[in-house]
Chains A and B, each alone.
Chain A
Amino acid sequence: MSSEQTPPPGRLDNVEARIDYYPTHEIAGFRLRPGKSFPFGATLVPGGINFSIFSSHAVSCTLVLFSKGAPTPMAEIPFPDSFRIGHVWSMMVFDLDCETIEYGYRMDGPFEPAAGHRFDRSKILLDPYAKAVGGRDVWGVVPDWNNVFPYRGRLVFEDFDWEDDRPLEVPIEELVIYELHVRSFTRHPSAGARHPGTFAAMRAKIPYLKELGINCVELMPVYEFDEFENSRRRPDTGEMLYNYWGYSTVNFFAPKAGFAATGRLGMQVDEFKNLVKELHKSGIEVILDVVFNHTAEGNERGPTFSFRGLDNKTYYMLTPEGYYFNFSGCGNTLNCNNPVVRGIVLDCLRYWASEYHIDGFRFDLASILGRDPWGAPLPNPPLLESLAFDPVLGKCKLIAEAWDAGGLYQVGSFPAFGRWAEWNGKFRDDVRRFLKGDPGMVGALAQRLQGSPDLYGWNGRGPTASINFVTCHDGFTLYDLFAYNQKHNEANGEDNRDGDNDSHSWNCGWEGECDDPGINNLRRRLIRNALAILMTSQGIPMILMGDEFGRSQRGNNNTYCQDNELNWLDWRLAESNTDLLRFARKMVAFRRAHPVLRQRHHLRNHDWIGSGYPDITWHGTRAWEPDWSAGSRVLAFLLCGRHAQEGRSCDDYIYVAMNSHYDALPFELPKLPVGFNWHVAVNTSMSSPQDIFTPGSEPLLGGQQEFLVGGYSVVILVGREKI
């Protein structure tokens, strides 16, 4: 061998030539050796695959191998007793073609529900650590209900060509979040997608998202769930109702194949990673909505396909009688503060962050993650602490839906460990009530506008703890918020019993669609008002998919089961509601142009840098005299731009006047420093294009002393130095 061919000392020229990975056993014609206990799951090793699975109560375990899609196993390999260390069975199997096999496990153990055990050797179980799942490869294809192995573990390669991509690490205060459902976003024919409802189709819509100005998408569940879980037909129409939103997990590590145009080819991992990579190229972060509060196995009557059959007592919270606690409202509750379950949650999130370059996570019903195995809230939940201090997740956004279905409501008090942000449900409720003209809301509104210091100031969390939203997937769309007084959920087949009954909505005088131009103008104004308040509030704004151009769910405030136009985004609205879309785009641009709207720390309500103006001041129809009375429906505030970013940036003065009285009211304007003038940025009582102006081109206000703010209107002025 020439010197040129000799590898450097300590290096092999063939990394696959590991002398310690050779078979020592043979069972059923397969060459084996004892495996590595860690990592759990199926891992490619030189010449074979390492399988590792945990169960603390099973007495034996068998690896079951299938050829892809085959109805019966190609092999069953029992783990020799000597292959178990502690509660972990592990085995290396050589000469397997990882491209063409699927795998699962049979676990043997007691079936004693009262003691918490529900082992069933007849079931072939999905590995909770499987990185891809076969069996539901194409959305909506009715499964073979007799399939002995409905959800099949698959292996994936980790060779994706990320080039130089990595999580963007946009400072959280800079985010404008857009919540969307992958299938809904492009499934409607008007989307013009070649592969509707898929990751690939969403990738083609990135230019739209970029033009809207958002810099973060929050994806409703994209890991493997079964749209046929609890599927049923509407008694009146026969229409199929699905588990459409996907808030019911089959597997935490696998992207949903049915959301991939390449799902039938088993390339969903590549397709989703490409979506993330392309979003990052456009400066858009990706937050995943993760559901660790329960699984798709339901209660005692639910199916057994994974956790229940592997180790029921470990994975689920059980009553002393062995029944399932139901803090999720979905039949079972994952036992998140059991150390083993905690481990799987941590491993899962680390995997998404490192392998998929995910930028953050929103935790569905996150308060459950703070309960002990018997359901009691913990003062310092170890799982939440572990997530907050995990090194891999160190730059990830962590966002809690800070309540659960068991009555635990922790908005403002979620154990944050200096890291966690929260969906601020109080922002939603208070802003809605102010918008529709409820009296006595200005005090609460003032808190919401400042990033809710009443909720997040006492423990030093700052406005970045507050994810502000007026609408989200749960509840009315923004259009419906001002078109319906009542929910209209009959299409869900539950006699309109499901969904929120306290939406703080207002139909403006007519329930549903109408031809009255006055009502329709008012509705459109209220939509603008909501967007204006959302975008000028401290904290992190979140927009629901389609709210930027008036998407309606026809009054349905709980479309969890609807695979139809109630959920699919109708892109024709972007044409018919160009005025709303224009307003939304420019409102996002306004926020992004003004750092004083994106403070990392709470405003102090005094002048702490000597600018002559406090960082924020409050006003009413008289300058400097806010009306905090119980009957008040008006509020204005002035931000001093010299306090932007702790005084490090110099921004404009921003004055926001909000009038939820039905009459127009004159607002006396606070005086600016000598040499400064007011310019009109937004006036929602004007029609497009006079309702909003591009930052930098706002017209000079004629009279600088007073502004007539229309009924149910918001006005935003910017004060800047005369040129």
Chain B
Amino acid sequence: MPFSAQLAVVDGVAKVTLKGELDASVAGQFKETIEQAAAEKPRRLVLYFNELEFLASAGLRVLIFAKQKMGINVDIYVIGSQGPVLATLEMSGFHHSVYLQDTYGDD
């Protein structure tokens, strides 16, 4: 599945749906999406990982970028991560910096 990152902003919540493999070759695309989301000054960032198949170091970098770009007042939710993506988040310890959930409340 080719990588894609789709942004929707609803009621101050920026929602990004990720699909495919997030590696160095597409990390820039994800970063642009995060920048677009940040420009909307959301109160919350929700990342849908349900269909994300792989998360490389470059992808983790963008998550860290997202955390710091959004600032401490914007909570980040990572939804539906599973398998190797979830393992990567947990092993690297990034799961301490976000809210990991199976689903997001108003979906």
Contacts and interface: CB of A to CB of B under 8 A. Distances in A.
B97 interface: yes
A274 B96 CA distance: 9
A99 B57 contact: yes
B64 interface: yes
A573 to B, nearest CB: 27
A21 B24 CA distance: 23
Contacts of B94: 270, 274
Interface string B57-78: 1101100110110001000000
Contacts of B97: 161, 163
Nearest to B67: A161
Interface in B81-107: 87-88, 90-94, 96-97
B3 to A, nearest CB: 15
B107 to A, nearest CB: 26
Query: For the complex, would chain A's binding face be called helix, strand, loop or mixed by DSSP majority?
Result: loop
Contacts, number: 60
A313 interface: no
A163 B98 CA distance: 12
B95 to A, nearest CB: 9
A586 interface: no
A274 B56 contact: no
Interface residues on B, range: 20 to 34
B64 A160 contact: yes
A159 B58 contact: no
Nearest to B90: A200
Interface string A193-209: 01100101001000000
B72 A274 contact: no
A265 B94 CA distance: 14
A70 interface: no
Interface residues of A, number: 26
Contacts of B72: 163
A274 B91 CA distance: 9
A707 B61 CA distance: 64
A278 to B, nearest CB: 7
Contact of A267 (B57, B65, B68, B96): B57
Nearest to A156: B57
A261 B65 CA distance: 22
B24 A267 contact: no
Given A267-B57, A274-B92, A274-B93, A99 B24 contact: yes
Given A97-B24, A161-B64, A163-B72, A265 B93 contact: no
A200 B67 CA distance: 21
A43 to B, nearest CB: 17
Given A161-B97, A163-B72, A271 B91 contact: yes
Contacts of B57: 99, 265-267, 270
A267 B63 CA distance: 13
A273 B60 CA distance: 14
23 contacts: A157-B61, A159-B64, A161-B64, A161-B68, A161-B97, A163-B97, A194-B90, A198-B91, A200-B91, A203-B93, A260-B91, A262-B88, A266-B57, A267-B60, A267-B92, A270-B57, A270-B60, A270-B92, A270-B93, A271-B93, A273-B93, A277-B93, A277-B96
Instruction: Please name the 4 residue pairs, one residue from A and one from B, whose CB atoms are nearest each other, closest first.
Output: A274-B93, A261-B91, A99-B24, A270-B92
Given A159-B68, A266-B57, 16 more contacts: A99-B24, A157-B61, A159-B65, A163-B72, A163-B97, A203-B93, A260-B91, A262-B88, A262-B91, A262-B92, A270-B93, A271-B92, A271-B93, A273-B93, A277-B93, A278-B96
